[in-house]
Amino acid sequence: MRSSAWSVARCALILCTLRLIDGTKVQRQCGEGDYYYEYTECDSRGSRWRVAIPHEPGACTGLPEPVRGTECTFSCKAGEFLEMSAQECTQCAAGSYSLGSGIRFDQWDAMPAGFSSLATSQENGPHGEDRLTCNSSSWVPQGNYLESNRDECTVSLIYAVHLKKQGSVSFEYQYPDNNLLFEFFIQNDQCQEMDQSADTKWLKLTNHGEWATHTVNLKSGTNILYWRTGGVLMGSKVVKPVLLKNVQIEGVAYTSECFPCKSGSFSRVPGSSTCEPCPRDTYSNHGASSCTPCNSSSYYAAEGSGACKKRPPCSKKDYFQIHTACDHEGKTQVIYKWIEPKICLEGVTGAEMLPPGGEREPCPPCNPGFYNNDTAICSPCPPGTYSDGMKPCQQCPAGTEPTLGYEYKWWNILPSNMKTSCFNVGNSKCDSMNGWEVAGDYIQSGAGSSDNDYLILNIHVPGFKLPTSVSSHSATEFGRITFEFETSCVADCELYFMMDVNRKSTTVVESWERTKTRQTYTHVMTKNASVSYTWAFQRTNQPSDMRQYVNDVARIYSISVTNAVDGVSSGCRVCALSTQPSSSTCVPCPPGHYIDTLTSQCSECPRNTYLVSHAAPSADACKPCGPASRSDKDHSLCYSDCHFTHTDGNATLTFDFSLLGSVGTLMNGPSFTSKGTKYFHQFNISLCGGQDQLAVCTDNVTDLSIADSQREKGEGPSAVKTFICQSTIIPASGRGFRTALSSQSINLADTFLGATVNDTLDGIRVTPEMYPKTSKKVPDINFFYRSLEVTSSCQSGRSAVVTLRCNPEKSTKGELSVPSQCPAGTCDGCTFNFLWESSGACPTCTERDYHQIEGVCKGGHQDLLYVWTEPKLCMGGVALPEKKTLPCEGMEFWVRLGAGVGAFTAVLLVSLTCYFWKKNKRLEYKYSRLVMSANKECEMPVADSCAVMEGENEGDMEDEVVYTKPSLLGKLKAIASKGNGENYENVQLNSSHSKALVWS
């Protein structure tokens, strides 16, 4: 009551003020056209008052007195409005509509009242300068829809509504490009964000040209609605904007008026809740109850038009050629047809005539897996049989099984499992005949109703079925799609190849801009799921309602899908047979086994080889793993077990990289776009281990609707699980988004090629100059990887090299870095290089990495210490031996011992000298005696004396007589001499002869 009383008092105060202002002026009595009614705010009891508010204050007097209004929760039904004079619900008149308790915004010629577009203020550039120019970024009305910004600025579309009861908001949108972030959230009047699940906050991607509907429940009270977009532009690519239309809010207390139908629509009867679009070749003005026909002889109008347009003369852009279906004679011909709906005039000056049809010619053969049974229709071969399209269906021979899939290379008619359509950007679906058209050797994009239409070609695969022999494998490839295409364009055309897995979210696999020469593209399915493949061609991204670039075209020459569960068979595949005698039943091979073509039995791949699932059955299907790598038990991939050995001369270095951890992470940057948006590149690297230790990169924008546990395992539709992956990280600061965003996750390496100290492996080269070395004692170890995913810029797939360097100054986990000349990790977008410096990358310690130091002798004891050789370039391995203490002698003992040994040596030398001197004298005497006795027959000189010389004695002489015992050889010579009767003569020896005698 207090609130109601205050409202009444406020109205009375306004009236008194008006009377005082016009004090002396005579005022007329107010009529019904001078004021309008409004309700006051509801009080605590849920009641309110109706008051009259003048259009021009002070223009009249005698406004109606306030009266009690309806209950706050009162509302009218759809098609009615609350007539405030009587406070009763009244039907809307023809030409208008009402939602009852809701409001709708479906006309966007200008920004509706209450809506505002706000560009978020950005942070400064990397050097402090203000590089942001977002003043011109906003949501732009485009007639039937609202278009978001196309740049990297963060722009919010805001609308505030007050609900008297619980309600909802729903809208239609197009969101085809994940280079633009798109979120929808709600705040209350305290600027607090309402509780909202992730799948209602982040909008899912849509197919190109298709509209999706999004609905969120609203609470009673004030709700501030935010539609927020922000670009993730890492180049000059122009993104596809978000489109928004048909915003409808339920839960308002009442509507006091009906909304007139917009131009091009009408409501025929009173009490309508919606307006219908005018049929083709009719139009209507604002608030119409019926549509007016155009003069069809010279004017036309598309569905939902607000005016008629003049028909132009027919030109070559208004017709197209097709091949007729095969007739009963197996003939077809080229004919020309007008593009429907036909809007041009034939019989006027300058008009083109429809060309005549071509000559009848033989129909092309059936596609592989189909046959022609003397009719005009190609039929699929029965299960268990195959055909190349030109021969009747045949049974596969024993030991083989039919392959399954699709192979389309002749385009006489559109295959039954393919659909074509056309979507106009603003007016939803356009005529389906203008999608893609068959043309014999290829299928090509149609004309469309305007140049910015999306021309859609779709093929749905319900699932994949592996061949029997490999059905039990832990397969990394369930199937693959391959197509050959080309584009020829003058404008900024683009061809998209997309897929939708399990009907959850459509993602763009690859796209090609402008003219592309004839080429082949292959995509591998790594999971068994239902998938829809879509090709979308758009001639220009700019708004257009004309066909100016109708000659810009995309052609697809062939499409092949392998292992499709509902496919046909174009050939037979060798399979493994049961071991039962004379059995022809195909059996599955265990994981890691190939089919021996000689025995038709399963054979396990050799050790450290991996099985190529799509290769022909033979021993060649087992490919050897690279250096320093091994295969898992299923032979599905090769990986490093974190151990590496290198021998250089006589030295062998052993490495154990498990100390570096399971996954390494590097976030480089920051980098800035042209408008100053800060972003980082985050790399996750799994150095060692198999499937259970791969790195995972997720897109938290499109994957927020899945559980965190699924996202961590890489199970989301946009998650990447591989050896090396990359994500683009946008920090929350300065973007308006309240959390850091991770997007654009890509696979850099799904195959481990090997580890080596060499700079080259399998055609991949690392440049040593990228990471200058300061020490050459321990070599760098290079881990080589490759990604088999082909992109438009990397025809051979991406490759990566992780260089491990021993650095004892780093921690065990180490530090990752990229080359200074390639701050994004790559200089060409295809080859990535990383340096991982760590003490954990040093070799295992051995005995040669330390040496011994002997301490001084103290107190009869001596210490033996062991220290590492500096710089220490090893980790783990043998431990440093403990200090040893050994007993030792003092210096006095060694001095005494040395003196004794020296004295003994001197005495020994003197004694030996005397002994040899004396013996020499005796030898001289014996020599002289022998000389004298040898001259008996010669005349001897008279002896001076025969007596013993003075000083000589008999004893001495006897001492000089030497008796020798004859040797055995001497005795034999003596006996021989006597037997022969040989006589010996004495010969005098001259003194000179004595010098020539040698005694031994």
CA–CA separation, 98 and 908 (whole Å): 137
Give domain status of residue 908, yes or no. no
Q: Is residue 481 scored above 80 in pLDDT?
A: yes
User: Which residues, 6 or more positions from 490, have their beta carbon under 8 angstroms from its beta carbon?
Assistant: 549, 551, 552
Q: Are 246 and 171 in contact (CB under 8 A)?
A: yes
Q: Of 7-11, 379-383, 486-490, 691-695, which gets the smallest average pLDDT?
A: 7-11
Q: Are 38 and 11 in contact (CB under 8 A)?
A: no
Query: Which tokens is 211 given?
Result: 């509209």
Q: pLDDT-based confidence at 430, cuts 50/70/90?
A: low
What pLDDT shows up at residue 834? 93
Q: Is residue 349 scored above 80 in pLDDT?
A: yes
What pLDDT shows up at residue 291? 95
Signed CA dihedral, 87, 89, 93, 95: sign only: positive
Q: pLDDT-based confidence at 180, cuts 50/70/90?
A: confident
Distance of CA 877 to the CA centre of its chain: 37
CA–CA separation, 94 and 407 (whole Å): 56
3-state secondary structure of 620: helix
Q: pLDDT-based confidence at 974, cuts 50/70/90?
A: low
**What does the buried/exposed string (b/e) look like for 437-472 if buried means 16 or more CB atoms within 10 Å of the residue's CB?**
bbbbebbbbbbbbbbbbbbbbbbbbeebbbbbbbee
Q: Is residue 950 scored above 50 in pLDDT?
A: no
Q: pLDDT-based confidence at 843, cuts 50/70/90?
A: very high
CA–CA separation, 787 and 762 (whole Å): 13
Together in a domain, 759 and 882? no
Q: How many domains are contained in the chain?
A: 3
Together in a domain, 824 and 870? no
Together in a domain, 825 and 687? yes
Distance of CA 137 to the CA centre of its chain: 30
Q: Among 134-143, 229-238, 349-358, which range has the highest average pLDDT?
A: 349-358
- Print the SS3 string covering 192-215: CECCCCHHHHECCCCCCCCCEEEE
Q: pLDDT-based confidence at 132, cuts 50/70/90?
A: low
Q: pLDDT-based confidence at 121, cuts 50/70/90?
A: low
DSSP string, 928-983: HHHHHHTTSSSPPPPPS-SSPPTT--HHHHHHH----PPPHHHHHHHHHHHHHT--
Query: Which tokens is 10 given?
Result: 């406020």
Query: Which tokens is 768 given?
Result: 């040593």
CA–CA separation, 814 and 839 (whole Å): 7
Together in a domain, 673 and 811? yes
Together in a domain, 734 and 881? no
Q: Of 35-44, 415-424, 495-504, 650-659, which gets the smallest average pLDDT?
A: 35-44
pLDDT in tens, 352-365: 999 998 888 888 88
What pLDDT shows up at residue 2? 35
Give domain status of residue 108, yes or no. yes
Q: Which of residues 229, 252, 275 is at a domain's end?
A: 252
Q: Is residue 64 scored above 70 in pLDDT?
A: yes
Q: Which of residues 236, 252, 268 is at a domain's end?
A: 252
Q: Is residue 839 scored above 70 in pLDDT?
A: yes
Across the range 466-488, mean pLDDT stands at: 82
What pTM was estimated for this model as a whole?
Answer: 0.71
Q: pLDDT-based confidence at 310, cuts 50/70/90?
A: very high
Together in a domain, 690 and 770? yes
Residues of the domain holding 877:
850-887
Give domain status of residue 676, yes or no. yes
Q: Of 381-395, 813-827, 940-954, which gets the smallest average pLDDT?
A: 940-954
What pLDDT shows up at residue 482? 95
Nearest to 52 by CA among 28, 81, 22, 84: 84
Across the range 707-721, mean pLDDT stands at: 56
Together in a domain, 883 and 771? no
Give domain status of residue 737, yes or no. yes
- Listed in order, strand segments (DSSP E) in 872-911 are 884-887
Q: What are phi and psi of 707, to 5 degrees?
A: -70, 150
Give domain status of residue 296, yes or no. no
Across the range 78-82, mean pLDDT stands at: 87
Q: What is the dihedral of CA 695, 698, 704, 710, to 10 degrees?
A: -30
Together in a domain, 771 and 869? no
CA–CA separation, 741 and 824 (whole Å): 18
DSSP string, 373-404: -SSSSEEEPPTTEE--SSS--EEPPTTEEE--
Give domain status of residue 323, yes or no. no
Which DSSP symbol is given to 6? H
pLDDT in tens, 606-644: 999 988 877 777 788 899 999 999 998 888 889 999 999
Q: pLDDT-based confidence at 956, cuts 50/70/90?
A: very low
What pLDDT shows up at residue 994? 39
Across the range 549-564, mean pLDDT stands at: 92
Give domain status of residue 341, yes or no. no
What pLDDT shows up at residue 970? 54
Across the range 22-43, mean pLDDT stands at: 74
Together in a domain, 787 and 857? no
Q: pLDDT-based confidence at 936, cuts 50/70/90?
A: low
Nearest to 337 by CA among 318, 311, 313, 315: 318
What pLDDT shows up at residue 735? 56
pLDDT in tens, 565-595: 999 999 888 888 887 776 677 888 888 888 8
Together in a domain, 668 and 799? yes
Together in a domain, 772 and 651? yes
Together in a domain, 744 and 881? no
- Print the SS3 string covering 360-371: CEECCCCCCCEE
Q: pLDDT-based confidence at 780, cuts 50/70/90?
A: very high
Q: Which of residues 206, 224, 252 is at a domain's end?
A: 252
Q: Is residue 879 scored above 50 in pLDDT?
A: yes
How does the average pLDDT of the chain come out, rounded?
80
Give domain status of residue 568, yes or no. no
What pLDDT shows up at residue 204? 83
What CATH number has the domain bearing residue 781?
A: 2.70.130.10
Q: pLDDT-based confidence at 407, cuts 50/70/90?
A: very high
Instruction: Please count the other Cβ atoms lying within 10 Å of the Cβ belonging to residue 505.
Output: 18
Where is pLDDT greater, at 949 or 44? Answer: 44
User: Which residues, 6 or more positions from 895, have their beta carbon under 8 angstroms from its beta carbon?
Assistant: none
What pLDDT shows up at residue 720? 84
Q: pLDDT-based confidence at 947, cuts 50/70/90?
A: very low
Where is pLDDT greater, at 793 or 645? Answer: 645
